[in-house]
C-alpha cells in the first residue's frame, strides 16, 4: 500500500538524462509534483513539456544556484522528498595515474553537491514532519575496484554521508534511503566517464541485459511511495549478469 499521494512533491537532481530523467517520469506518472534539476536547461524544458515536471536549471555544487533553487521551490509550495541523483564518474585511471581534475569533479558533484542540496532543504523537510531524502549512490560505494579509485572514493563518501544523515535525522521523522545500483546502461554515464563512444560501448559489451534507467527509477519510485514508516535503508540493485562487482558475465 502506498502513502496518500495527494500533495506529494519531490525535487529530483540529475533530471536531464539517464536515471534522474527516468525518475522524474516515474513520479510524474504517480501524480507527484516534481521539480527537475540539472545544468542543461534545454533538456529540462523538453522534459517539462513532455511530463509537466517543473524545470529548474542549476549547478548543485554552486552555492548561489542552491540558494536560488531553495527560494524558487519554497515559492512554488515546497517539497517533502529530496532525490539526489546528479553525479557520475570521470576517468578509470589507477590511483598512481590519477587526474586531480577528474577526482575534484567527482568529489564536487557526488559528495559536495549532494551535501549542499541536502543541507539547504533539510529545514523544509524537517518542518514537513514526514520528509524523505533518497541518495543515489552506486555499488562503487560499497566495493572498490582497479581503476575505480576516484569514483569509489566519491561514492563511498556519499554512502557514508547517507548513513550519518539517517542517524542524525531519525528524531525528525526524516526517512533516509540509499539506492546503490551496479551496471546501468544509460546514454551518457560511460561516455562522460571514458570520453569516447567506442570505449563507452565496451563497458556493456557482451553483458546480457544490463539494468536500464527505468529499472532503477522503478526502485526509487517504490522506495519513496512506500508508507513513510518503511525505510529502505539501502537497496542494492544489479543485473543478473553481475553477481558481484568483480563477477560480470560477458558472452561472445
Q: Which residues are catalytic?
A: 151
Q: Cα(28)–Cα(79) distance, rounded to whole angstroms?
A: 14
Query: Does residue 60 bind ligand NAP (CB under 6 A)?
Result: yes
Q: Is residue 132 a contact partner of residue 224, using CB atoms and an 8 Å limit?
A: yes
Query: Does residue 61 bind ligand NAP (CB under 6 A)?
Result: yes
Q: Report the residue number, 1 or 155, with the smaller CB distance to ligand NAP.
A: 155
- Supply the minimum distance, in Å, between the C-beta of residue 131 and ligand NAP: 21
Q: Report the residue number, 18 or 150, with the smaller CB distance to ligand NAP.
A: 18
Q: Are strands 54-55 and 81-84 parallel, antiparallel or unpaired?
A: unpaired
Query: Does residue 239 bind ligand NAP (CB under 6 A)?
Result: no
Q: Report the residue number, 2 or 49, with the smaller CB distance to ligand NAP.
A: 49
Q: Cα(25)–Cα(213) distance, rounded to whole angstroms?
A: 11
Q: CA angle at residue 137 from 141 to 80, to 5 degrees?
A: 145
Query: Does residue 138 bind ligand NAP (CB under 6 A)?
Result: yes
82 beta partners: 11, 133
Grid cell for residue 148: 575505480
Query: Does residue 91 bind ligand NAP (CB under 6 A)?
Result: no
Q: Cα(61)–Cα(80) distance, rounded to whole angstroms?
A: 21
Q: Cα(200)–Cα(31) distance, rounded to whole angstroms?
A: 35
Query: Does residue 81 bind ligand NAP (CB under 6 A)?
Result: no
Which position among 14, 91, 131, 150 is part of the footprint of ligand NAP (CB under 6 A)?
14
Distance (Å) of CA 215 to CA 181, 224, 235, 244: 10, 15, 13, 18
What letter would DSSP give residue 138? Answer: -
Which residue's Cβ lies closest to ligand NAP?
A: 18
Residues 156-195 that bind ligand NAP (CB under 6 A): 181, 183-184, 186, 188-189, 192
Q: Report the residue number, 39 or 128, with the smaller CB distance to ligand NAP.
A: 39
Grid cell for residue 56: 529548474
Which position among 16, 81, 152, 234 is part of the footprint of ligand NAP (CB under 6 A)?
16
Q: Are strands 132-136 and 175-181 parallel, antiparallel or unpaired?
A: parallel
Q: Report the residue number, 163 or 172, with the smaller CB distance to ligand NAP.
A: 163
Query: Does residue 225 bind ligand NAP (CB under 6 A)?
Result: no
Query: Which residues of the shown chain bind ligand NAP in the complex (CB under 6 A)?
Result: 13-20, 38-40, 59-61, 85-88, 109, 113, 136, 138, 181, 183-184, 186, 188-189, 192, 213
Amino acid at each position: 500500500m502506498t502513502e496518500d499521494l495527494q500533495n506529494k512533491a519531490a525535487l529530483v537532481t540529475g533530471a536531464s538524462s539517464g536515471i534522474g530523467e527516468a525518475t522524474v517520469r516515474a513520479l510524474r506518472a504517480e501524480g507527484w509534483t516534481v521539480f527537475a534539476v540539472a545544468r542543461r536547461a534545454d533538456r529540462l524544458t523538453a522534459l517539462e513539456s513532455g511530463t509537466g515536471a517543473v524545470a529548474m536549471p542549476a549547478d548543485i555544487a554552486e552555492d548561489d544556484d542552491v540558494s536560488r533553487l531553495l527560494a524558487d521551490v519554497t515559492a512554488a509550495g515546497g517539497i517533502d522528498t529530496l532525490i539526489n541523483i546528479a553525479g557520475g564518474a570521470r576517468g578509470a585511471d589507477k590511483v598512481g595515474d590519477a587526474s586531480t581534475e577528474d577526482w575534484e569533479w567527482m568529489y564536487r558533484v557526488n559528495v559536495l553537491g549532494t551535501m549542499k542540496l541536502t543541507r539547504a532543504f533539510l529545514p523544509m523537510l524537517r518542518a514537513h514532519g514526514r520528509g524523505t531524502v533518497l541518495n543515489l549512490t552506486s555499488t562503487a560505494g560499497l566495493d572498490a575496484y582497479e581503476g575505480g579509485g576516484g569514483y569509489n572514493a566519491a561514492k563511498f563518501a556519499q554512502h557514508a554521508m547517507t548513513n550519518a544523515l539517517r542517524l542524525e535525522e531519525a528524531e525528525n521523522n526524516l526517512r533516509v534511503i540509499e539506492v546503490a545500483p551496479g551496471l546501468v546502461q544509460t546514454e551518457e554515464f560511460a561516455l562522460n566517464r571514458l570520453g569516447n563512444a567506442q570505449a563507452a560501448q565496451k563497458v556493456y559489451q557482451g553483458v546480457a541485459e544490463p539494468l536500464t534507467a527505468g529499472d532503477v527509477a522503478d526502485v526509487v519510485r517504490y522506495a519513496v511511495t512506500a508508507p513513510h514508516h518503511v525505510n529502505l535503508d539501502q537497496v542494492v540493485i544489479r543485473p543478473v549478469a553481475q553477481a558481484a562487482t568483480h563477477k560480470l558475465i560477458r558472452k561472445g
